[in-house]
Structure 1
Amino acid sequence: MALNSPSPVVLQVEPFGGSTRRHNTSLPHLYWDDAAVTRGEGVFETLLIHDGKVANFQRHMKRLQASATQLGLAVPDAEHWGQAAAEAAADWCGQIPGKKKPQAAMTWTLTGGRASTGVPSAWITVRALSDTQLKQREEGVAVMTAERGFSFQISPTKKQKPWVSLAAKSLNYTAAMAALREGRAQGFDDVLWVEGDRVLEAATSSVVIVKKDKRLRSPEPAGEIIAGTAVAALFELGEKKGWRCKHKELSVSDLYEAESVWLLSSVRMGARVTRINDKELGSPGKDSLKAVRGLIEEALTR
């Protein structure tokens, strides 16, 4: 992060509508009995700020609402949160002179709130992109495959239990953070969850492979694979531009055989996988690389 980057913005949001207020980032704002702290009970979304505006707002809002519903939290009002998000983005960009505004990361957080009041807590943050995020966009990432250690595959005759679904984007990222620490200790940038030879998703992003003849493939979002807003945006734009996009079960061997492999997330955008475990992946041609990068950038900045 550049030394002269704008200060982070924290905007406290009334979850049921009403006022917002700018919070001093040097002071704490969570109470001792907030469910986010005592139970890890809450949901979040991370979005990209591009040209001073929130990118892919509707996709993120729908997922935040679905996550809140699944966890029994107050369902966010789209209009209210949209106004608050625009205010937070304007506050951050207002610190930067000139018309050209750098990209930034915005995070929405909604928790179960205080045990003593039952009132949910909600806030929005905006901060500069990290040097690591920008570097991985340009240079790609080396990934380590790892088993999650549990499986939520459900037989056709049994319904999935709501308390074991990973469909909600919850604050419980303990396993993912532990896996990333282990991966980095072994010289990798990221971790790719697998189940045997089956590819699931990365620790904090979705997996997309590029195949010949303008084909894009990504694992089906279900059960233990969260629905990625970045993949949805990419597939929608890709279809319009003549790419054949499909959710399909992928194996590790599919990754090795692909023209290129990408980890997609809203802020880091597209990070090309350059190595999986001890196997270096071949680099796609310049034209293919340029086309995929351009498609990802356009899709994730709309």
Structure 2
Amino acid sequence: MNSKTPAGAVGLLDGRPLADGGVSVFDRGFLYGDGVFEVLRTYRSEPWRLEEHLGRLALAARRVGITVPISNARWIAEVRSVLSERPAGSDSVLRLALTRGVGSPGLDPSLATVPTRLTLATPLPALPSSLYQRGLSATLTTVDRATPREGMLSLSGVKSSNYQLHILALRDARGRGFDDALLLSSDGALIESTSANVFVVSGPELRTPSLESGPLDGITRAEVLSIARELGVAAVCARLDASDLWTADEVFLTSSVRELVPVVRVDDHEVGDGAPGPLTRRLHAAYRARTPLAGDGLPWG
């Protein structure tokens, strides 16, 4: 690996160590963003919900017409092999990526026949307690995505390698002093944030955009919905819009790496009393109790 490779990164490209060679400049993932990927984390070197992530990757690959070239069992073995190269007990971010492969330049997908796969582990970045103690700010950003309809070609719900809209939304939000962006479809439906699902607490009810609104079918999203049912909290998946954020008592984001992160301000509006809310805390504590970190301190200190 070259000097630009992040410290501590290890991986396999098509089952071979990264040091043995890089991605071809003719790989369609490089040329067109023609691929799908998953991101998950480990807890004490143990990958969290790996089989669920592999299942979602397979569904996304099917949606875009890419064949997964190996079995789940083999990919799991590759993940274990990569993690064995990381310090024992350390926490990592895992990226599993699949492109259509190498072929002559051109949009025709049949120009590539052998998919490229990547299994990559990097050190889990430090997640500051202030993120959970104070929460973050977000701005609403309308993106050029309509709510999916029958018969419409759409990448909604697919973790596509072409993440340009999300990157631009985050760049715009950071440039205007916000931590993240909450994405609205062109017809006003709340979708997700740039890299997480979004939940709204209104009175006793927990709400999140339905899959029909176009968010990713998040692994952590599903876990939180399961926990809510277990705790007797009414949980609803429905079409939401900006007005649901303005009137919310609490808002939080969910992702595999950051778990549950409170949102305390949306544009010029304080969420609730401007501090992380009690249901967010309760759900996060219950989520942690399901992980190998159960019994450890909670991230807000």
TM-score bracket relative to the smaller structure? 0.7 to 0.9
Equivalent runs, 1:15-30 vs 2, <5 Å: 20-24=15-19, 29-30=22-23
> Structure 1 counterpart of 2:244, which letter?
D
Give the Å deviation of 1:255: 2.2
Equivalent runs, 1:284-299 vs 2, <5 Å: 287-298=278-289
**Structure-2 change in CA distance of 1:30 and 1:286 (3 Å):** closer
**Structure-2 change in CA distance of 1:181 and 1:6 (3 Å):** closer
Give the secondary structure class of the aligned counterpart of 2:11.
strand
Equivalents in 2 of 1:249, 1:52: separation in Å? 37
Aligned to 1:248: 238
Equivalent runs, 1:71-82 vs 2, <5 Å: 71-75=64-68, 77-82=71-76
> Structure 2 counterpart of 1:40, which letter?
G
Equivalents in 1 of 2:26, 2:129: separation in Å? 36
1:226-272 C-alpha deviation (Å, 9 max, x unpaired): 21111011112332232322212222222233331111111021111
In the alignment, is the contact (CA less than 8 A) between 1:137 and 1:268 conserved in 2? no
**Structure-2 change in CA distance of 1:132 and 1:51 (3 Å):** closer
Give the 4+ runs in structure 1 shifted more than 6 A.
none
Aligned to 2:82: 88
**Structure-2 change in CA distance of 1:244 and 1:231 (3 Å):** same
**Structure-2 change in CA distance of 1:135 and 1:30 (3 Å):** farther
Equivalents in 2 of 1:103, 1:265: separation in Å? 16
TM-score by length of 1: 0.83
TM-score by length of 2: 0.83
Aligned to 2:297: none
Are residues 1:206 and 2:207 paired? no
Give the Å deviation of 1:102: 4.0
Q: Identity of counterpart residues, as a percentage?
A: 22
Q: Which runs of 5+ in 2 are unaligned?
A: 1-5, 105-111, 294-301
Range with bigger deviation, 216-225 or 54-63? 216-225
1:49-95 C-alpha deviation (Å, 9 max, x unpaired): 1121111122211110000001111125221111212222232233x
Q: Which runs of 5+ in 1 are unaligned?
A: 14-19, 95-100
Equivalent runs, 1:103-122 vs 2, <5 Å: 103-115=91-103, 118-122=113-117
Give the Å deviation of 1:284: 5.7
Are residues 1:217 and 2:212 paired? no
In the alignment, is the contact (CA less than 8 A) between 1:134 and 1:268 conserved in 2? no
Equivalenced residue count is 278
Give the secondary structure class of the aligned counterpart of 1:225.
coil
Equivalents in 2 of 1:140, 1:228: separation in Å? 21
Equivalents in 1 of 2:35, 2:129: separation in Å? 28
Range with bigger deviation, 200-209 or 218-227? 218-227
> Over aligned residue pairs, what C-alpha RMSD do you find?
2.5
Give the secondary structure class of the aligned counterpart of 1:114.
coil
**Structure-2 change in CA distance of 1:301 and 1:252 (3 Å):** farther
Equivalents in 2 of 1:262, 1:275: separation in Å? 11
Equivalent runs, 1:41-52 vs 2, <5 Å: 41-52=34-45
**Structure-2 change in CA distance of 1:138 and 1:34 (3 Å):** farther
Aligned to 2:143: 148
> Structure 2 counterpart of 1:297, which letter?
R
Aligned to 2:173: 183
Give the Å deviation of 1:291: 1.1
**Structure-2 change in CA distance of 1:277 and 1:180 (3 Å):** same
**Structure-2 change in CA distance of 1:218 and 1:287 (3 Å):** closer
Are residues 1:167 and 2:168 paired? no
